[in-house]
Structure 1
Amino acid sequence: MIPDQEGPATPNGADKFDDEHYPAYTMGRAADMLGTSQNFLRSLDEAGLITPQRSPGGHRRYSRHQLRLATRVRELVDQGTAVEAACRIVTLEDQLHEAQRLNAELRAED
């Protein structure tokens, strides 16, 4: 499940819709979209997997990329994997994906 678009976190953020790292989702909206609790999202922050940006009022804001990571952790946890182990697995998967993306870019430049 990949989250759909939601309005920007700031009024002038309309140009950020295509930026998967733009923190457009509130904690409540993110939890609803993932079908999980806000405590689950807090646990991912505590585990160091996701560090949401904070609004001027101190509220957590999540990006589509962070929600994809949280979705993958939730899948692993639902299969019986401990949260800490699931976070490590997802971190490694994300690092591998990024390395593959960079490798493809370098090959395209040759």
Structure 2
Amino acid sequence: MSTEPNTESTNFDDEDYPAYTMGRAAEMIGATPGFLRSLDEVKLISPQRSEGGHRRYSRYQLRLAARAREMVDQGTALEAACRIIILEDQLAEALRINSELRAPAELPTTADS
């Protein structure tokens, strides 16, 4: 019996693991492979490449792509949609970091008890 962790299930639990082919990714978000290529061109997402050179997408990248498709479908220009998504993502990360940095300061000390 192997004592090594099951990396396959660990990888699929990782939202940054490039698990999806271009065709499957496009199907999942209701877009075309060309739309996904355009997101790469405008630098919203940069899929990893398999050993054969095929694009592979993560769940995180698919969330961004689905948001872009939604905004484009509502009439937002692709470049503007991608810029908005990048800024939203940066803001969410900054808020997460801010929250983490504030958390230790909010814990009561033994002197406060």
TM-score by length of 2: 0.84
The Cα shift of 1:108 comes to 1.7
The Cα shift of 1:14 comes to 2.4
Give the paired residue count. Answer: 100
Give the 4+ runs in structure 1 shifted more than 2 A.
none
Structure 2 partner of 1:25: 20
Structure 1 partner of 2:102: 107
Structure 2 residue corresponding to 1:46, chosen from 41, 46, 71: 41
Q: Give the number of the structure whose alpha-carbon radius of gyration is greater.
A: 2
* Superposition CA RMSD, Å: 1.4
Q: 1:37-95 CA deviation, whole Å, 9 max, x = no partner?
A: 00000000000110000000000010111011011111110110110110001000010
Structure 1 partner of 2:53: 58
Corresponding position: 1:97 with 2:92? yes
Structure 2 partner of 1:5: none
Structure 2 partner of 1:69: 64
TM-score by length of 1: 0.86
The Cα shift of 1:18 comes to 2.1
Secondary structure of the structure 2 residue equivalent to 1:71: helix
One-letter identity of the residue aligned with 2:60: H
- Identical-residue share of aligned pairs (%): 71
Cα distance in 2, alignment partners of residues 36 and 107 from structure 1:
40
